[in-house]
Chains A and B, each alone.
Chain A
């Protein structure tokens, strides 16, 4: 009889049941979408923050202080003053290789522009370089993916174009250079003049505006440093720093073995820097705090914001569902009064109601879960241009939520049921 009544309620009160199922579907859909987005938002925003460019610089161990401080170019052949170009690929083989978004090598030289002109910095780099890794994969590297804020007038230099160059906008305007012009540079030694052609003008609002950029090979030839690199800038996705990370940044060796393992296997910027040092011979990798620190701030704020919005939407769905359940019970108070008059126990009526809600919940919850995934993808695609990862953890979370809400939503109903006196209900109208 229980089943017959249940089926009767479901089939004959189709509209009402549909409404309950619809509301549960809406709530589930909302919770699913928000939880999925929330769990993935860190990763997504982290990728967006890569717009700020490198958060780690890699420099040669022994040269770092001398060169930066005195502006002295160490002579060729000075061991340990440079990094090897051949080691660059190793950056993509570290433990957190997948978190390395991109990187670019730099080799800077002082050089003289034109005939006895002023001294400028000539920077050799990769512009847009597909680097083949030992694993067979291909990594997109170079300044083009790294420095997304560069505004280039004209075109980018091709990495295999030995005569191509890009000139900073300030330098170009003060020297009267335009895209397509040829110009001559003289390396400090005086020997080996070189004619270059301007392919594009770079405007970045930084020191780059006063520099000349050429393919790495050209700069190596001009400086007489074949296969050498002065500096690498790395852009990596990192986890915001915490206490452990800060202690490790001071001195990784001070950690206990367990802490050290945790640190090493978490994508802290200090851990990634440490692993790069391990991979690239004779290198020192330093986190760029301007980027690394700020990333952490933005990331944490965004996640907290999304968390709170998610909590709000969860509360909203919970209230919505339980509210409708209560409304449903009210609507049926007469029917329930009658059942009671016929001798139904409170327990029996309760089960009946619960079973109906659960049946509606399963149908609505299932539909809601999938439409929620749809909403999450809409958000992911239109905001970040990539799909939001579907997190399996969301399923039990939402399921528990819906069950709790159905129970909680039935609670006021239960109280009402118990206080209902059939005579009153049937007479009342």
Chain B
């Protein structure tokens, strides 16, 4: 079975800054990968390229059999919409929409808003009672859970989480990590960026970026056979 993601010689250059250099990486379906590395090492840049938010300066990236490095921005938008779920460190919720509506926005752009389904997603992240609250009325952990619900709502093939717990306290962090673990068990493919070795421990594989290169790769724990959903 073909891997979900295959990066070959990916590089990204901002003016004179080489944010990424010759990245080679494959991610299997159902895998949970974590990316670590010091600040400025290119983690977000890599996530953006995988998430079709940005284009690489060189190299090829195959996502689910599609060469995304050759797509134009419309094509990228379509892939992003259909296959990717994004979770941000800064949550990025629309301030004037309620938790429920924020989830529905993703449905809206994907296909059809469905209130019941959105509510179910919120229930899953434990926020059923907070569905009608605006982001400013939610705690950071709650906002991040809304974000996760939003990322899940369209059944993405790949969930990308850039420092999802970076802004959270421990209690909320464990709730959020619990959610990811559950998603993983259900067979979702997940890539998380983190600074926390304990988080990396939870994942199957961890790559370490330094100065835009993969400096180290290690298995955190054996890849579970659960390739469900793929």
> Which A positions have Cβ atoms within 8 angstroms of B?
424, 427-429
Contact = CB atoms under 8 A, between A and B. Distances in A.
Nearest to A424: B136
13 contacts: A424-B136, A427-B136, A427-B140, A428-B95, A428-B135, A428-B136, A429-B90, A429-B91, A429-B92, A429-B93, A429-B95, A429-B135, A429-B136
Interface string B119-149: 0000000000000000110001000000000
Majority secondary structure of chain A interface residues (helix, strand, loop or mixed)? helix
Given A424-B136, A429-B136, 8 more contacts: A427-B136, A428-B135, A429-B90, A429-B91, A429-B92, A429-B93, A429-B95, A429-B135
B176 to A, nearest CB: 17
Majority secondary structure of chain B interface residues (helix, strand, loop or mixed)? loop
Contacts of A429: 90-93, 95, 135-136
B190 to A, nearest CB: 25
A428 B91 CA distance: 11
Contacts, number: 13
Interface of B: 90-93, 95, 135-136, 140
A427 B144 CA distance: 13
A429 B92 CA distance: 7
Contacts of B91: 429
Contacts of B140: 427
A119 B73 CA distance: 96
A180 to B, nearest CB: 82
Nearest to A428: B136
A428 B90 CA distance: 11
A349 B75 CA distance: 45
Contacts of B136: 424, 427-429
B98 to A, nearest CB: 15
A419 to B, nearest CB: 15
A424 B136 CA distance: 8
A366 to B, nearest CB: 36
Contacts of B95: 428-429
List 5 A-B pairs, minimum CB-CB distance, nearest first. A428-B136, A429-B95, A428-B95, A429-B135, A427-B136
A171 to B, nearest CB: 83
Contacts of B135: 428-429
Among B90, B91, B95, B136, the one with the most A-chain Cβ atoms within 10 Å of its Cβ is: B136
Nearest to B95: A429
Contacts of B93: 429
Nearest to B137: A428
Contacts of A427: 136, 140
Contacts of A428: 95, 135-136
B87 to A, nearest CB: 16
A247 B65 CA distance: 100
A424 B140 CA distance: 12
A428 B140 CA distance: 10
Nearest to B139: A427
A158 to B, nearest CB: 80
Among A424, A428, A429, the one with the most B-chain Cβ atoms within 10 Å of its Cβ is: A429
A428 B135 CA distance: 7
A333 to B, nearest CB: 11
A427 B136 CA distance: 7
B2 to A, nearest CB: 39
A305 to B, nearest CB: 44
A420 to B, nearest CB: 13
A428 to B, nearest CB: 4
A429 B147 CA distance: 13
B146 to A, nearest CB: 13
A428 B93 CA distance: 10
A296 B136 CA distance: 64
A421 to B, nearest CB: 12
